[in-house]
């Protein structure tokens, strides 16, 4: 008996059932290629595409974490800027000649409060509990009070980079340099009046007139001493000495007051001499060096809380406060610069996020086009295959029922 009919029929049925299973899987998963053997090239392309999508998703997660971290840093910068602006206002009030001793004490208390607020800002923590301004030492409070009452910085200037997009990295941490590294005074010289000054003179910088000379002085180590002596005819003379060499001499106007001033250029900076210096008075101009904002606020507090009432004492206090006003300006600029740099990083992250989303969408589309199934076509093929299989099974059943006895 020839069994080839049954063998061929069984083979055909098996093929149709396999095709039916494949079509059912394609319709349910939306994928035309699910295993490498079905289409090796398409499967490899899709795998690479999915890996790239996963990498972009990981980068987006990193972006989100950095944005939260640097967003908190930005908020702290805003608060610090407001604090320094408030201290500037306090200094301007204190330098008002009509400010009473009682009011100076009140202003001192406000500065003390600002000092405490600044330490709290410097020790701000992020959502994950790390200190924002600790650098790479985020587990340690960066600004701590020493046994002598001064604030010491225990963080570092460490940097950390994380991938936010293919070939693009961004800083993930900040450090406390913005609170400790600004130069004292105008950034060129630090002026101090001799504690024995008996006159009402003050030395106020007006601006740089020779940048080369000013920068050379600031980067050097020699100080300038400006001293006053009695001249002929009831006049007052001044002499400026740097490193043992006289660099300027002159005679003050006979009525040098807060509104009638003398001018002298020293180390590339134009200075005005206000008030009436007494013979024997002197001022020292030292190259500016970094001064922490905490030391600055402590000096302001001390000057306000210990201010005397004599004309000479008032002049001494005003000399300190004018220097502090210039130093506050240095920190105001430092915060603005740091906040701007932080904003640039945040904008770069936003741009990277948008680019990543666009790339991810494009990659997903390519993957779908490579291994995705055309659902309407697959459903039609499924229906056709199922119908054909059912018809074949019915026909086979009818053939099996055929018998020669039916024709006898």
Q: Give the pLDDT confidence of 83-100 residue by residue, as tens digits.
A: 999 999 999 999 987 778
What per-residue confidence (pLDDT) applies to 220? 96
The DSSP line for 51-62 is HHHHHHHHHHHH
Give the residue, 150 or 367, on which the prediction is more confident: 150
pTM of the shown model: 0.76
What per-residue confidence (pLDDT) applies to 257? 46
**361 pLDDT tier (thresholds 50, 70, 90):** confident
Check if the beta carbon of residue 290 is closer than 8 Å to that of residue 228: no
What per-residue confidence (pLDDT) applies to 114? 97
For the chain, the 3-state helix, strand and coil shares in percent, each to the nearest 5, are 55, 20, 25
Give the residue, 19 or 303, on which the prediction is more confident: 303
- How many other CB atoms sit within 10 Å of the CB of residue 179? 25
Dihedrals phi, psi of 372, to nearest 5 degrees:
-75, 155
* DSSP annotation of 392: H
d(CA 164, CA 346): 11
Least confident of 54-58, 73-77, 211-215, 320-324: 54-58
The DSSP line for 107-143 is HHHHHHHHHHHHHHHHT-B-TTS-BTTBTT-TTS-SE
Q: Give the pLDDT confidence of 246-286 residue by residue, as tens digits.
A: 999 999 987 544 456 799 999 999 999 999 999 999 999 99
Q: Count Cα neighbours of 359 within 13 Å in the Cβ-side half-sphere.
A: 19
Check if the beta carbon of residue 311 is closer than 8 Å to that of residue 283: no
d(CA 389, CA 14): 10
Least confident of 98-112, 150-164, 250-264: 250-264
Cα-Cα-Cα-Cα torsion 131, 134, 135, 136, nearest 10 degrees, comes to -80
Mean pLDDT of 335-358: 81
Q: What is the mean pLDDT of the chain?
A: 82
What per-residue confidence (pLDDT) applies to 256? 47
What per-residue confidence (pLDDT) applies to 346? 80
Give the residue, 302 or 9, on which the prediction is more confident: 302
Give the residue, 288 or 171, on which the prediction is more confident: 288
- Identity of the highest mean pLDDT range in 144-158, 267-281, 365-379: 267-281
**381 pLDDT tier (thresholds 50, 70, 90):** low
Give the residue, 19 or 323, on which the prediction is more confident: 323
Check if the beta carbon of residue 189 is closer than 8 Å to that of residue 217: yes
Is the pLDDT reported for residue 28 higher than 60?
no
């Amino acid at each position: 008996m020839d069994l080839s009919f049954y063998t061929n029929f069984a083979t055909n049925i098996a093929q149709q059932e396999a095709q039916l299973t494949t079509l059912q899987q394609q319709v349910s998963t939306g994928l035309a290629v699910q295993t490498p053997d079905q289409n090796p090239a398409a499967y490899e392309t899709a795998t690479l595409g999915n890996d790239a999508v996963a990498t972009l998703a990981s980068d987006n997660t990193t972006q989100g974490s950095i944005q939260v971290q640097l967003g908190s840093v930005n908020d702290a910068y805003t608060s610090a800027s407001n604090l320094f602006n408030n201290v500037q206002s306090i200094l301007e009030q204190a330098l008002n000649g009509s400010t009473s001793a009682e009011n100076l004490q009140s202003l001192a208390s406000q500065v003390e409060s600002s000092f405490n607020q600044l330490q709290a800002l410097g020790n701000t923590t992020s959502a994950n509990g790390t200190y924002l301004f600790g650098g790479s030492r985020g587990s340690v409070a960066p600004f701590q009070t020493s046994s002598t009452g001064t604030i010491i910085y225990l963080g570092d200037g460490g940097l950390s980079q994380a991938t936010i997009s293919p070939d693009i990295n961004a800083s993930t941490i900040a450090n406390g340099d913005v609170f400790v590294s600004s130069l004292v005074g105008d950034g060129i010289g630090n002026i101090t009046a001799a504690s024995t000054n008996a006159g009402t003179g003050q030395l106020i910088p007006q601006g740089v007139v020779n940048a080369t000379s000013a920068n050379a002085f600031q980067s050097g180590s020699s100080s300038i001493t400006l001293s006053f002596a009695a001249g002929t005819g009831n006049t007052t003379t001044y002499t400026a000495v740097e490193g043992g060499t006289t660099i300027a001499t002159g005679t003050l106007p006979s009525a040098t007051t807060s509104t009638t001033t003398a001018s002298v250029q020293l180390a590339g900076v134009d200075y005005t001499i206000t008030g009436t210096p007494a013979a024997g008075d002197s001022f020292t101009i030292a190259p500016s060096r970094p001064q922490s904002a905490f030391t600055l606020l402590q000096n302001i507090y001390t000057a306000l809380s210990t201010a005397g009432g004599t004309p000479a004492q008032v002049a001494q206090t005003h000399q300190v406060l004018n220097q502090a006003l210039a130093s506050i300006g240095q920190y105001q600029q430092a915060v603005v610069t740091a906040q701007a740099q932080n904003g640039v990083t945040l904008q770069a992250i936003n741009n990277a996020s948008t680019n990543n989303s666009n790339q991810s969408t494009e990659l997903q589309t390519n993957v779908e086009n490579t291994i995705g199934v055309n659902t309407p076509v697959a459903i039609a093929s499924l229906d056709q295959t199922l119908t054909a299989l059912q018809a074949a099974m019915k026909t086979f059943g009818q053939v099996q029922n055929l018998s020669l006895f039916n024709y006898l």
